[in-house]
A and B are shown apart, each in its own frame.
Chain A
Amino acid sequence: MRIAKFFGISLAVLVSIAPIGASAQRSGAKTPLKTVIARSDVRELPADQQIIQALSRLSFGAKPGDILKVRAIGLDNWIDQQLHPEKINDDALNSFVANYSALNQDQNDLLRQYAEQQRERREVKRERADTTKPLTADEIAQMRQLQQQANSRRQVVTQLQSSRVARAVASERQLQEVMTDFWENHFNIYAAKGAPEPYYIVDFDQNVIRPNALGKFRDLLEAVAKSPAMLFYLDNARSMADSTQPTLRDPNQLQRVRPVPFGRGGFGAIMRTANEMQRQQQQQQQQQQQRQRQGLNENYGRELLELHTLGVDGGYTQQDVINVARAFTGWTIKPPAQGGGFVFRPQVHDAGEKVVLGHKLRAGRGMEDAEDVLDILAKSPATAHFISFKLARRFVSDSPSKALVDHAARVYLRTDGDIREVVRSIITSPEFFSQQAFRSKVKSPFEVVVSAMRALNAPPDTSPRTAQVIAYLGQPIFGHQAPNGWPETGESWMNTGAILNRINFGMAAAAGRLPGVDIRDLPALDTIRSAPREKQVDAVVAAILNGMVSPDTRAVLLSGEHPMLGAGSGNIPPLSGLPQILGLALGSPEFQRH
């Protein structure tokens, strides 16, 4: 049953209101393109529902008072503000985020420390291996310290997860947060891939995704391609030219170092020593490179084409996958002891000629190979279409119309992959403000929890608790192992088990089991604690569900009975009165949609 049916808004009313809502948009930039497309730009939704729609999709849900705020500054102005996060003051959040101790240290320093710890641990193990003596106090202390260091690595992930939730809950730059969520799923990283990944992901979140979330797709793509997080996750850091291919500095040439003549004393002797040392060094380097030159790894090359840019039907071949992987050989990570940043190693770069998607990359070049590949991919109409489709699916509906996606893809190509403009075209489109799109998306677990925190006016918290709740609901942050990321459509989140968990989440939130949640922060509810049940239901529906509720859900809220609720028997007492209504509202189907 569609929710809209219950609200008693006839289509006639909608049509009569629609032109008012649309006027602002129509007075905007009229490009020749629009007249060619001949798409209707009438906003179907009445003005207030347009605001609800925008707040649900461009933010993680309305906080109390948000609707009034947006109405006051004008919806189109608010959207424009959100598209320019750099102009929105977010000092309060920034000073809050400063509380995360592990995130505010230099991650390269942490990585160096980690490398040092690993070395120490190996030493301790070696020393202990050949002795049966009981541990000395010093050794015990040392081992304890090592254990603490391992814990601190886990803490990096925990704090990053917590900060992702806190930012989504409290940032004024809501669209920026939504886009961060979108891109971190598009460019999925798995925190448990291996020991250094936690440090890499902090950099990924702070310096790779966030600064580029509304920038040019080409810049974002390169930042991701160079990020240690991705280089490690999809194994490109270990991919090297096959032994059959030339590299930039052919190790064989090193052998042609001219021997230094012997027998000249004094200065000559010193020269010889220096030269011999150099030669020795070169030989060592050479041996090391031979050892290192293991060959190609296609993992990143394939997912770059399939998941990051062209899409699986984007018209590439297995040979393209191989050649993209060859172009990216040498794009790797410095050792943890050196801070682990991006580095290009010409000596393992495949310098042979390659053809990628019909473009020839001539032989003998270095980093330019992969730079060109990124250019080719970022400019491809297939990429424009794939990115537009995913954005339209995120913002408008699980199955966006071809017209909308095509339109957005044209904007992508016209603006040289300007994400801000592609997003703008989607979120100001008539489809975005259509009856069909309104409340048609099912929230992901992340969206459910964050929108509940926002609806309840809860302050962000630094504890791992809220992120744990999201994980419990099925979406651990940076916890998706496969590179395709979490499902972006509602289908995947809907089954009885999930509904049950969401109902229980609502009850737990209302029972004060979420940090920071306190009904006293909700003036609209705090004042009706002793009102009759029906009044309380009305107030909760107005405050939490934007006044929209089906007769079924209303009946549940009034009676306090739902087949999935049993007698409370655990350590959370059964709720009654206002908290119970609130909990049931948070678990209702209406709250799961947006």
Chain B
Amino acid sequence: MLDEKNKNRLYKSLVVIVFMIVLIGSMLLLSFVFTPTNNYPDAGMIDWNVKAILAEPQNSIDAIFLGNSEGYYAFTPLKIWEEQGITTYNCSAKGNPVNISESYLHLAFEKQTPKVVFFETDSIYKKPLVIWQLFSSRVVETFSVMSYHNRWKDMDASEIGKEKNYTYQDDFKGFFMDKATVAADPATNMNPTDKSKHIFYRNRQYIIRMKEYCEERGAKFVLVSTPTTKNWNMKKHNGMAEFAQSAGIEYIDMNFMYDELHIDWNTDSRDGGDHLNVVGADKICSYLGQYLANTGLFTDKRTDPSYSKWNENLEKYNNAKNPS
């Protein structure tokens, strides 16, 4: 039999344990209630452009792009479709750290079997998330109310309890079309130097893990540095080139290819050389489309009736670019 002191202890412990159970249960319930039932942008889904890949027909995407805002504004799948008939999807999102890109890689492979995965390199030089941030992103994934709690402002009561169904397809396949033009200063970012910038250990590990993940699934993993006068330089290039070589990853630095790509810094950036706009995006995707075509891995699907939606989207894309 328990004495009074131990009974008291047991009672206190039980109160705390019951509290924890009720709290966790409530958080899970609230997560269910607050998570949008669809991936429409208006439904409040975070990175809806990326998650819309889940609504694409199974095994319909040939290649995907990953990265942060540099990739978000630079990789335009419909340009590649227009010129090569190859289906690609842009899974980049603004401010994405490398580990989140890794989770988007896994998300993309849920329903697709892309043969090439391009990774925009800018985020690799960003400080990786610290250990408790990584734990936290797991917690936030589990308790999604932490991400979607602000939906209390505009939630529709009829949504509550509905099954989650990601049916929304993004017309531009994850790409954000920005037509703003802010001229950049003449590019001096690639002035020669022997110095190289250090890449964070954990980011190296993420990249190597992603490369292995892709290879296990028969996909080629390629690092790409898109043109930017503000975020890339020779030191970063050297560091990336050394890393890519040591990890056995193919690396394309478009910052050496301004002439070849016909990059004009007066017209091709949305914000003075920080990111590309749609004009610049079209130019680099012409190159990447050719690159994909040269691999010989893909067939031209422009006349395939099951891909007719892509042609409709291309029309929307060109209309949005040049409204009549």
A and B are partners in one complex rather than unrelated chains: no
Residues of A within 8 A of B (CB): none
Residues of B within 8 A of A (CB): none
